């Protein structure tokens, strides 16, 4: 076995020093009847070459596309070569959580920089070393809101938030009989203000609103903040496409009290949905209620600046059942990818990239609307995703696209019965004009449904 | 490692006009600005302006202040820092995997679904449990999923239960998880050998009586939803009465959750499904060698018994066999099953940390049935070798036969006013990452050492020699240890001020 280093002679020497004849003799602490008396019913070990081929066989069994017009929470962006090169340094990817600051300053300083950038993007003051993904970030945000807002036990969730985020939130709130999640309806693709106002009350701790929402629409956080704050609730923005922060005002500056969501767009591929990068940013006043690892700046004995894990009194290894969360492992290496991506991009790169995404989505939309079977649904501002109603045969559209190695947008009917027949389209900087044109050509050939 | 040069924050070196990323030429009309004026991005305060050269150098220099598994033994007990095979990294980076979209129709991601189905089959055989979900992103997320399954089980029987039992030796995540799942935690006391006590335990100092497992089960009965038990426990000792523990809990229909953080001591040797475990998680970043990445991403799949199958998170990957002609190899197709009415719901936005699962699958295929067992035995041999060599120089607070890790106490050194923290910091001066310290809480001044199977005799000897030299130094020059580390880029850090007056981000100077 190529990963097990000791030679037979060395093994013998180890066992002799321990004072046992066989390695099996060390299992004495496991009662005989509880031991496995047979080999595991699994194939034998494989050479590197054999394993590589088997794994490539599975990778090749997936269908490849010329272009994916699918976003819906997992966005395909260009990944600069510097990111993989840096992240494959063993000092980054094989290190553990930085428990010993004197030999973990690399990871600690990186997290401090990453925290700074997430605060910059969201316009808020405190964040952590990352959370698992957008869905679990919503859970942590909502649980934090009810902790901060003592005596308020209800979280309002806009129906415009990613349906999977909402499902994760409901799953995690289900065990708490004292907490409630209530959905706020959509109107014209954005949160229905009348429904929101009807549901706001003294029991509401927070309101979660998509920014942009799952349908691609830019919710007017500032307008929503008015009634939400008047009712004493916190406004939590949920962003599933963090590149939008290069196009839209920081949620903290637009009225949000907390911002959470998914930042996989910074330096990652869709990767079948993970590992992704959950984030949560909050105001300074709430810093001692934030979940997860937090890095702070301090000095060593000689007065030199350095970084440590801090505010640990919130965490599970100290506070046990009174901790703000059970999270310990997070998405460290994905946060490193985001940090490098953002430092390469800089303010101009990020704004430029976001503007290109907006331009590509607008072009895609205008071209799709030339097709007789594509209809606008609502005229709302959007970033790189939007919905259109398709009056043709959805199955035929799917089939025609796949035949040309194009992955079309998401058929919304499965998630939103009220948007049956609508498609959620996405375009990013990766979509060239010829790709968009070939999509339009393919769709133009799909026969209309005969009434 | 340990470059002696300071690396300032990148924000302090930003120079207007520098760019590290350029954009493709825009081949469509510029975006029309449809944003409401107040939602237009106003600007950034921190995003630095740097060239690619500077960014690369910045992150390269920073990396040199880290210690990784490739630098040498990384003996963090319970964290299981084993070699990270490069094949696993290469495979997980293949575009055939990384370009796949989680919302793509099942027919287009057959390779991914086959991989997930196969990995599940391996985990089922390894644990002896028939159900698996690969969604949880880390061990703590797995714990929460498992405890929510327990809750769903009792709710389905029309009964809500109140209490989760957790040994005092357990990981901090266990009680935090139980609380997140809406339960009250009742602590189980340990016996002097570190295992769970069936009998009541009287504290020799305070005289306070702590109720043992039998008393708690008798008194709380059907209030108990389950117990969360780490096995082998956090002192590396197998709970030898595990079967009795599970029988006792099952007698009141309480379920047994096994924290699988130490499963690397059991793979191929014993199966939790065979000794009464109802549900458990595996840390693939421990047991299956996926890298820790400076704090993640990990993966914490949950395996469960028959009773809990209906409640597993959605979707579940299933295999259909396509009819083929006689004598032909059967063909399989795979799909997601979303139609599971009793499911607890979802615990990850999509299907879990897929890229990590690819690495774990690669690890499994490389090791195979024989290699998995051999890795377990080698890890146990290595830990016992360290135990044999250091016993005497360091106190073994608990002397039971231990498996994959060994926990020493600082009681011999404390006489010289040298404590676990000092010993850990001195190891840094010798070029080693310290062990886990001050955990588990039941061992005073714990030094928890886990070498894993990745170390050969030479590396183990060098590490032991160093710890023996430190033990000697404690007797000869204890004061020197209080100064450690002196050879690292920084000396000890002021953690008190860091917590009292937190500076959690860089702020642009006014």
Asked if A327 and A414 sit in the same domain, the reply is: no
Domain with CATH 3.40.640.10 in chain B: 90-365
pTM recorded for the entire structure: 0.97
In a domain, A27, yes or no: no
pLDDT on residue A242: 98
Query: What is the C-alpha to C-alpha distance for residues A17 and B34, in angstroms, rounded to an integer?
Result: 75
Q: Hey, how many other C-beta atoms are within 10 angstroms of the C-beta on A322? A: 13
Q: Hey, how many other C-beta atoms are within 10 angstroms of the C-beta on A377? A: 18
Ramachandran angles phi, psi of B407, nearest 5°: -115, 115
Query: What is the C-alpha to C-alpha distance for residues A90 and B48, in angstroms, rounded to an integer?
Result: 25
- The class of domain B90-365 in CATH terms is alpha beta
Q: Do residues B149 and B308 lie in contact, with contact meaning Cβ atoms separated by under 8 Å? A: yes
Asked if A215 and A328 sit in the same domain, the reply is: yes
Q: Would you call A40 an interface residue with chain B, using a CB distance cutoff of 8 Å?
A: yes
From A18, A33, A329, residue closest to B139, measured CB to CB: A329
Task: Specify the long-range contacts of residues B441-445, CB closer than 8 Å, at least 24 apart.
Answer: B441/B168, B441/B169, B442/B168, B442/B169, B442/B190, B442/B194, B442/B235, B443/B194, B443/B235, B443/B397, B443/B398, B443/B407, B443/B409, B444/B397, B444/B409, B444/B410, B444/B411, B445/B409, B445/B410, B445/B411, B445/B414, B445/B419, B445/B420
Would the CB atoms of B137 and A274 count as touching at under 8 Å? yes
How far lies A401's CA from each of A66, A73, A221, B409, B450, in Å? 10, 21, 36, 65, 53
Q: Mean pLDDT across the stretch A360-373? A: 97
* Nearest partner of B312 among B149, B195, B102, judged by Cα: B149
Q: Would you call A32 an interface residue with chain B, using a CB distance cutoff of 8 Å?
A: no
pLDDT on residue A11: 95
Q: Mean pLDDT across the stretch A371-376? A: 95
Query: What is the C-alpha to C-alpha distance for residues B507 and B510, in angstroms, rounded to an integer?
Result: 9
Q: Mean pLDDT across the stretch B306-334? A: 92
Question: Strand, helix or coil at A408?
Answer: coil
pLDDT on residue B5: 66
Nearest CA in chain B to A125: B505
CA triple A14-B367-B113, angle to 5 deg: 155
> Nearest C-alpha of chain A: how many angstroms from B205?
23
Over residues A141-199, the pLDDT tens digits come to: 999 999 999 999 999 999 999 999 999 999 999 999 999 999 999 999 999 999 999 99
Which fold is adopted by the domain B376-496?
3.90.1150
CATH of the domain at A395: 3.90.1150.10
Residues of B in contact with A5 (CB under 8 A): 454-456
Asked if A208 and A104 sit in the same domain, the reply is: yes
Give residues 82 to 111 of A whose Cβ lies within 8 Å of B.
82, 84-86, 88-107, 109-111
Tokens read off for A364: 């895609």
Query: What is the C-alpha to C-alpha distance for residues B350 and A73, in angstroms, rounded to an integer?
Result: 9
Q: Mean pLDDT across the stretch B455-468? A: 97
Q: How many residues are given for chain A?
A: 451
CA B238 to chain centre: 19
Asked if A217 and A299 sit in the same domain, the reply is: yes
Over residues A218-274, the pLDDT tens digits come to: 999 999 999 999 999 999 999 999 999 999 999 999 999 999 999 999 999 999 999
Domain with A368, as residue range(s), is 67-77+347-444
Tokens 């060395």, residue located: A10
pLDDT on residue A317: 82
Beta bridge partners of A376: A388
Contacts of A183 (CB under 8 A, 6+ apart): A156, A157, A158, A159, A166
Residues A147-167, buried b or exposed e (16+ Cβ, 10 A)?
Answer: ebbeebebbbbbbbbbbbbbb
Residues of B in contact with A245 (CB under 8 A): 41
Q: Which of B169, B258, B505, B509 to mutate to test the interface with A (most CBs of A within 10 A)?
A: B505
In a domain, A431, yes or no: yes
In a domain, A34, yes or no: no
CA triple B135-B140-B142, angle to 5 deg: 35
pLDDT on residue A208: 98
Tokens read off for A254: 């637009």
Over residues B402-450, the pLDDT tens digits come to: 999 999 999 999 999 999 999 999 999 999 999 999 999 899 999 999 9
pLDDT on residue A450: 58
Query: What is the C-alpha to C-alpha distance for residues A15 and B391, in angstroms, rounded to an integer?
Result: 15
Q: Do residues A36 and B270 lie in contact, with contact meaning Cβ atoms separated by under 8 Å? A: yes
How many domains is chain A partitioned into structurally?
2
In a domain, A5, yes or no: no
Tokens read off for B238: 């197998």
Please give the mean pLDDT across all residues of chain B. Answer: 95
* Structural domain ending residue among the three candidates A341, A359, A389: A341
Q: Would you call A414 an interface residue with chain B, using a CB distance cutoff of 8 Å?
A: no
pLDDT on residue A321: 86
Would the CB atoms of B503 and A165 count as touching at under 8 Å? no
Asked if A85 and A73 sit in the same domain, the reply is: no
Over residues A328-362, the pLDDT tens digits come to: 889 999 999 999 999 999 999 999 999 999 999 99
Question: What ipTM was assigned to the predicted interfaces of this complex?
Answer: 0.97
């Amino acid at each position: 076995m190529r990963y097990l280093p000791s030679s037979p002679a060395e093994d013998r020497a180890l066992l002799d020093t321990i004072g046992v004849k066989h390695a099996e003799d060390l299992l004495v602490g496991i009662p005989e009847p509880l031991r496995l008396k047979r080999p595991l019913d699994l194939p034998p070990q494989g050479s590197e070459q054999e394993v590589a081929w088997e794994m490539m066989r599975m990778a090749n069994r997936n269908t490849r596309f010329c272009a994916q017009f699918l976003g819906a929470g997992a966005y395909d962006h260009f990944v600069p070569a510097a990111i993989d090169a840096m992240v494959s340094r063993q000092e980054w990817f094989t290190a553990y959580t930085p428990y010993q600051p004197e030999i973990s300053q690399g990871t600690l300083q990186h997290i401090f920089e990453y925290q700074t950038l997430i605060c910059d993007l969201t316009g808020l003051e405190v964040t952590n070393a990352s959370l698992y993904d957008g869905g679990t970030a919503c859970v942590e945000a909502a649980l934090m809101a009810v902790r901060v807002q003592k005596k308020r036990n209800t979280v309002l969730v806009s129906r415009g938030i990613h349906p999977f985020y909402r499902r994760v939130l409901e799953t995690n709130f289900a065990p708490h009989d004292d907490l409630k999640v209530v959905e706020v309806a959509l109107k014209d693709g954005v949160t229905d203000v009348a429904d929101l106002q009807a549901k706001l009350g003294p029991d509401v701790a927070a309101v979660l609103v998509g920014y942009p929402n799952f349908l691609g629409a830019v919710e007017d956080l500032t307008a929503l903040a008015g009634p939400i704050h008047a009712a004493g609730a916190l406004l939590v923005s949920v962003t599933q496409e963090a590149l939008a922060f290069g196009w839209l005002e920081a949620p903290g500056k637009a009225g949000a009290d907390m911002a959470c969501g998914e930042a996989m767009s910074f330096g990652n591929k869709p990767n079948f949905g993970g590992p992704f990068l959950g984030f949560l940013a909050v105001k300074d006043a709430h810093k001692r209620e934030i979940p997860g690892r937090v890095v702070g700046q301090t000095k060593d004995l000689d007065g030199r600046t350095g970084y440590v894990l801090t505010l640990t009194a919130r965490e599970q290894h100290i506070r046990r059942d009174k901790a703000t969360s059970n999270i310990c492992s997070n998405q460290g290496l994905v946060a490193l990818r985001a940090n490098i991506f953002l430092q390469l991009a800089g303010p101009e790169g990020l704004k430029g990239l976001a503007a290109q995404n907006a331009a590509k989505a607008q072009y895609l939309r205008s071209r799709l609307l030339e097709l007789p079977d594509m209809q606008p649904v609502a005229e709302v501002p959007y970033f790189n995703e939007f919905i259109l109603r398709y009056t043709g045969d959805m199955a035929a559209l799917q089939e025609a696209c796949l035949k040309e190695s194009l992955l079309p947008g998401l058929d919304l009917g499965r998630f939103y019965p009220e948007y049956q027949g609508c498609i959620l389209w996405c375009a990013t900087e990766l979509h060239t004009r010829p790709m968009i044109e070939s999509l339009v050509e393919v769709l133009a050939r799909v026969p209309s449904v005969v009434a | 490692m340990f470059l002696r040069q300071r690396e300032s924050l990148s924000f302090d070196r930003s120079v207007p006009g520098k760019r590290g990323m350029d954009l493709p030429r825009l081949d469509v009309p510029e975006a029309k600005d449809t944003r409401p004026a107040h939602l237009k991005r106003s600007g950034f305060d921190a995003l630095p302006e740097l060239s690619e050269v500077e960014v690369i150098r910045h992150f390269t220099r920073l990396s040199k202040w880290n210690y990784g598994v490739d630098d040498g033994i990384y003996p963090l007990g319970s964290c299981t820092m084993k070699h990270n095979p490069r094949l696993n990294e290469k495979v997980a980076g293949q575009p055939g995997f990384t370009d796949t979209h989680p919302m793509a129709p099942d027919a287009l991601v057959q390779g991914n679904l086959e991989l997930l189905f196969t990995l599940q089959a391996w985990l089922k055989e390894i644990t002896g449990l028939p159900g698996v979900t690969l969604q949880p992103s880390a061990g703590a997320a797995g714990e929460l999923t498992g405890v929510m399954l327990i809750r769903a089980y009792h709710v389905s029987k029309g009964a809500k239960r109140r209490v989760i039992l957790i040994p005092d030796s357990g990981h901090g995540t266990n009680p935090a998880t139980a609380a997140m799942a809406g339960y009250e935690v009742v602590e189980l006391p340990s016996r002097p050998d570190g295992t769970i006590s069936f009998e009541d335990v009287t504290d020799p100092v305070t005289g306070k009586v702590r109720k043992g497992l039998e008393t708690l089960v008798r008194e709380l009965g059907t209030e108990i939803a389950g117990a969360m038990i780490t096995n082998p426990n956090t002192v590396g000792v197998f709970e030898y009465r595990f079967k009795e523990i599970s029988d006792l809990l099952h007698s009141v229909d309480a379920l047994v959750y096994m924290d699988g953080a130490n499963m690397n001591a059991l793979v191929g040797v014993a199966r939790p499904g065979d000794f009464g475990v109802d549900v458990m998680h595996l840390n693939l970043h421990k047991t299956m060698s996926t890298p820790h990445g400076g704090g993640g991403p990990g993966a914490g799949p949950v395996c469960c018994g028959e009773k809990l199958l209906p409640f597993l998170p959605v979707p579940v990957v299933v295999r259909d066999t396509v009819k083929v002609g006689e004598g032909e190899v059967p063909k399989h197709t795979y799909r997601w099953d979303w139609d599971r009415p009793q499911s607890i719901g979802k615990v990850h936005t999509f299907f879990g940390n897929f890229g990590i699962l690819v690495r774990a699958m690669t690890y499994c295929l490389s090791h195979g049935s024989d290699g998995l067992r051999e890795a377990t035995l080698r890890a146990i041999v290595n830990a016992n070798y360290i135990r044999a060599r250091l016993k005497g120089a360091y106190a073994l607070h608990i002397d039971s036969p231990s498996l994959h890790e060994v926990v020493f106490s600082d009681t011999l050194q404390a006489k010289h006013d040298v404590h676990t923290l000092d010993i850990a910091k001195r190891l840094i001066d010798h070029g080693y990452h310290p062990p886990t310290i001050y955990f588990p809480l039941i061992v005073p001044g714990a030094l928890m050492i886990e070498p894993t199977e990745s170390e050969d005799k030479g590396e183990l000897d060098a590490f032991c020699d160093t710890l023996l030299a430190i033990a000697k130094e404690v007797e000869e020059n204890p004061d020197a240890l209080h100064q450690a580390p002196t050879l690292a880029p920084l000396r000890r850090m002021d953690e008190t001020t860091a917590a009292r007056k937190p500076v959690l981000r860089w702020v642009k100077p006014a």
